[in-house]
Copies of this chain bind each other. A is one copy, B any other.
């Protein structure tokens, strides 16, 4: 009798290899395949799609989760995906999952998010990839409902694959499983962060700043958006692409007069 080959699943995150969110993700993935964890050795929130090119990278064997491979990495979440595929696994995994992030990565946060950038990097490398975030920043957040959601979505992706050039941005409201209304496929809401640069003085009297902000949703009430789904008790699933071309703008720009010769 032929043994069915188990899928190889790469797990990463941006809160660091010891965050409770990645533990929850690893627990679900161990049910679904052989797991490799390659995650940052420290918190890397807000790192976006940063890669480490002006300094060196290190990886260290780790032994927290009893999985096939497990390394912490000195770099960003995107570095973790690159080094996992090229130096640790030596092949593309069948699935790449990132998270579970402690805090929302909905709407415009997708672009600042290390969690989601790892998933986008997976998509760039033609790996079926998903970023998961629980809308609860606390270190002792309850991931029990999130784990059920993760399992359902990961199983769908493993069964159906993902449209070429896309990955998924999954955000989960901080609710009990019985309170969750369901899973809704959405688009990214038009929103941004209103910056608040908190100015302080160091002991020498020089100013320094903490970057903080408040979230502003420009299309409240629009039922197609991830922000709306989350506000109304649904898990939001947004397909995300790495083609950043604003295709609709091309015909407009073609009417401009670009004169560069004398």
Residues on A lying within 8 angstroms of B by beta carbon are: 43, 45-54, 56-59, 75-76, 78-79, 82-83, 85-87, 108, 110-112, 117, 120, 124-125, 148-149, 152-153, 156, 160, 162-163, 165-166, 168, 177, 180, 182-183, 185-188, 190, 192, 195-197, 199-200, 206-212, 235, 237-250, 252-254, 256-261
Q: Is the CB–CB distance between B245 and A209 below 8 Å? A: no
Q: Is the CB–CB distance between A53 and B211 below 8 Å? A: yes
A32 to B254, CA, bound (A): 23
Q: Is the CB–CB distance between B112 and A51 below 8 Å? A: yes
Q: Is the CB–CB distance between B58 and A207 below 8 Å? A: yes
Closest to A54 in B: B43
Closest to A53 in B: B46
Q: Is the CB–CB distance between A244 and B246 below 8 Å? A: no
Q: Is the CB–CB distance between B166 and A49 below 8 Å? A: no
A261 to B235, CA, bound (A): 13
User: With A124-B192, A210-B57, A245-B187 given, is the CB distance from A258 to B87 under 8 Å?
Assistant: no
Most buried by B among A49, A238, A249: A249
Q: Is the CB–CB distance between B86 and A197 below 8 Å? A: yes
Return the contact of A111 from the options B108, B125, B207, B242 (Cβ within 8 A). B242
Say how far A225's CB is from chain B's closest CB, in angstroms. 10
Return the contact of A258 from the options B183, B209, B210 (Cβ within 8 A). B183
A78: chain B residues within 8 A (beta carbon)? 48, 112
User: With A185-B250, A246-B166 given, is the CB distance from A52 to B58 under 8 Å?
Assistant: no
User: With A163-B249, A237-B253 given, is the CB distance from A46 to B57 under 8 Å?
Assistant: no
Q: Is the CB–CB distance between A245 and B250 below 8 Å? A: no
Q: Is the CB–CB distance between A256 and B160 below 8 Å? A: yes
Closest to A43 in B: B54
A261: chain B residues within 8 A (beta carbon)? 177
A241 to B256, CA, bound (A): 19
Closest to A44 in B: B54
A65 to B216, CA, bound (A): 36
Closest to A126 in B: B192
Q: Is the CB–CB distance between B82 and A253 below 8 Å? A: no
